[in-house]
Chain A
Amino acid sequence: MKKYIKLAFIILSCVSMKAQQIPASKQAKPTLILNATAHLGNGEVIENSVIGFKEGKLTIVADATTIRLDMSAYENVIDAKGKHVYPGFIAPNSTIGLVEIDAVKASDDEREIGGMTPNVRSLIAYNSESRIIETARLNGVLLAQITPRGGRITGTSSIVHFDAWTWEDAIIKENDGIHLNFPTTFKRSGWWAEPGTIESNKDYTKQVDEINSFFGKSRVYLAEPSSVKNLIYESMKGLFDGSQILYINANEEKQLIDAIRIGKENGVKRMVVIGGYQAVKVVDLLKANQIGVLIGRVHELPRLDQDDIDQPFKLAKSLTDLGILVGLENSGDMERMNVRNLPFQAGTTVAYGLTKEDALKTITLNTAKILGIDKQVGSLEVGKDATLFISFGDALDMRTNQISKAFIQGRDIVLESHQTELYKKYKEKYNQ
Chain B
Amino acid sequence: MKRIFLLLFWSVFLTSNINAQEYFPNNESTKSKSSVFIAFTNAKIHVSPSEVIERGTLLIKDGKVIAVGTSVLVPKNAMQINLEGKYIYPSFIDMYTNFGIEVPKTSRSEGNNNPLYDTKRKGYYWNEHIKTEVNASDSFKFDQIKAEEFLKAGFGVVGTHVPDGIARGTGALVLLNNDKETNKFLSTVTTNHFAFTKSQFSNQAYPSSLMGMLALLKQMYHDAKWYKEGNSDYRDASLEALIKNEKIVQIFASEDKLNSLRVAKLGKEFGINYILKGSGNEFERIDEIKKTNAKFIIPINFPDGYDVSDPYQANQMELADLRFWNQAPTNPKSLSENGIIFALTTDKLKKLDDFRTNLLKAIKYGFDKTKALESLTTIPASLLGKSDEIGSLKKGNIGNFLITSGDIFDSKTIIYENWVQGNKFIINDMNLKDIRAEYLLTIGNDNYKLKIDGEINSLKADVKLANDKKVNSKLTLANNWLNLLLKTADTTKTEFHRLTAFVSDTNIISGKAVLANGIETLWSAKKVPVSAETKKEEEKKSEINKVFPVTYPNLPYGNVQKPNQKTILFKNVTVWTNEKEGVLTETDVLIKNGKIASVGKNLADPLALVVDGKGKHLTSGIIDEHSHIAISRGVNESGHNSSAEVTIEDVVNSDDINIYRNLAGGVTTSQLLHGSANPIGGRSAIVRWKWGLAPEEMIFQNSPKFIKFALGENVKQSNWGIQNPTRFPQSRMGVEQVFIDYFTRAQEYDRLWKEYNSQGKMGNLKKPRVDLELQTLAEIINKKRFISCHSYVQSEILGLMRVAEKFNFNVNTFTHILEGYKVADEMKKHGVGASTFSDWWAYKFEVNDAIPYNAALMHKQGLIVAINSDDAEMSRRLNQEAAKTVKYGGVSEEEAWKMVTLNPAKLLHLDDKVGSIKVGKDADVVLWSDNPLSIYAKAEKTLIEGVVYFDKDLDVLKRDEIAKERAEIITQLLQEKNQGMATQPASKKEKVHYHCDTLEE
Contacts and interface: CB of A to CB of B under 8 A. Distances in A.
A305 B839 contact: no
B315 A347 contact: no
Interface of B is mostly: loop
Residue in A186, A308, A397, A429 with the greatest tally of chain B CB atoms within 10 Å: A397
Interface in B284-336: 312-313, 315-316, 318-320
B842 interface: yes
B844 A102 contact: yes
Contact of B884 (A103, A304, A398, A423): A398
A402 interface: yes
B318 A253 contact: no
A69 interface: no
A196 B841 contact: no
A427 interface: yes
Given A299-B877, A427-B857, A397 B316 contact: no
Interface stretch (A229-237, A264-272, A337-345): A337-345
A188 B839 CA distance: 32
A4 interface: no
Interface stretch (A78-86, A118-126, A197-205): A197-205
B111 interface: yes
A426 B820 CA distance: 11
Interface in B851-898: 851-853, 857, 860-861, 872-874, 877, 880, 883-884, 886-887, 889, 893
A405 B860 CA distance: 27
B658 A301 contact: yes
B319 A305 contact: yes
A309 B664 contact: yes
Contacts of A420: 851, 853
Nearest to B657: A305
B989 interface: yes
Interface string A328-344: 00000010110011001
The winner among A101, A302, A305 for most chain B CB atoms within 10 A is A305
Interface in A301-324: 301-302, 304-306, 308-310
Nearest to A184: B316
Contact of B556 (A132, A200, A306, A401): A306
Contacts of A194: 1000-1001
Interface in A150-166: none
Contacts of A334: 840, 842-843
A396 interface: yes
Interface residues of A, number: 58
Contacts of A429: 822, 825
18 contacts: A132-B842, A193-B1001, A195-B990, A200-B313, A200-B987, A306-B318, A306-B557, A306-B962, A334-B843, A341-B839, A351-B938, A397-B883, A398-B880, A398-B887, A399-B933, A420-B853, A423-B853, A429-B825
Interface of B: 110-111, 312-313, 315-316, 318-320, 555-557, 657-658, 660-661, 664, 713, 718-719, 821-822, 824-825, 839-845, 848-849, 851-853, 857, 860-861, 872-874, 877, 880, 883-884, 886-887, 889, 893, 929-930, 933-938, 955, 959, 962, 966, 985-993, 999-1001
Interface in A393-432: 396-399, 401-402, 419-420, 422-423, 426-427, 429-430
B147 to A, nearest CB: 32
A193 B999 contact: yes
Interface of A: 100-104, 132, 185-186, 188, 190-191, 193-200, 252-254, 278, 299-302, 304-306, 308-310, 334, 336-337, 340-341, 344, 347-348, 350-352, 396-399, 401-402, 419-420, 422-423, 426-427, 429-430
A308 B853 CA distance: 34
A109 to B, nearest CB: 15
A348 B319 contact: no
Nearest to B851: A419
Contacts of A103: 713, 718-719, 843-845
Contact of B989 (A198, A254, A301, A396): A198
B935 A350 contact: yes
A281 to B, nearest CB: 8
B842 A304 contact: no
Contacts of A299: 873-874, 877
A132 B842 CA distance: 8
Contacts of A254: 312-313
A399 B987 contact: no
B201 to A, nearest CB: 18
A280 to B, nearest CB: 12
A305 B851 contact: no
Given A101-B844, A191-B111, A340-B839, A399 B821 contact: no
A376 B519 CA distance: 95
B1001 A426 contact: no
A284 B934 CA distance: 35
A426 B840 CA distance: 18
Contacts of B842: 100-102, 132, 334, 336-337
Given A198-B990, A398-B886, 13 more contacts: A102-B844, A104-B844, A252-B312, A299-B873, A301-B661, A305-B991, A306-B318, A334-B840, A350-B936, A351-B930, A401-B887, A423-B821, A430-B860
A194 B110 CA distance: 10
A425 to B, nearest CB: 9
B315 A253 contact: yes
A103 B658 CA distance: 27
Contact of A197 (B851, B937, B990): B990
A74 B884 CA distance: 36
Contacts of A341: 839
A262 to B, nearest CB: 16
Given A103-B843, A306-B962, A334-B843, A193 B111 contact: yes
A426 B853 CA distance: 10
Nearest to B992: A195
Contacts of B934: 397, 399
Given A191-B111, A422-B849, A348 B843 contact: no
A278 B844 CA distance: 33
A101 B843 contact: yes
Contacts of B988: 186, 197-198, 304
Given A191-B111, A301-B872, A423 B316 contact: no
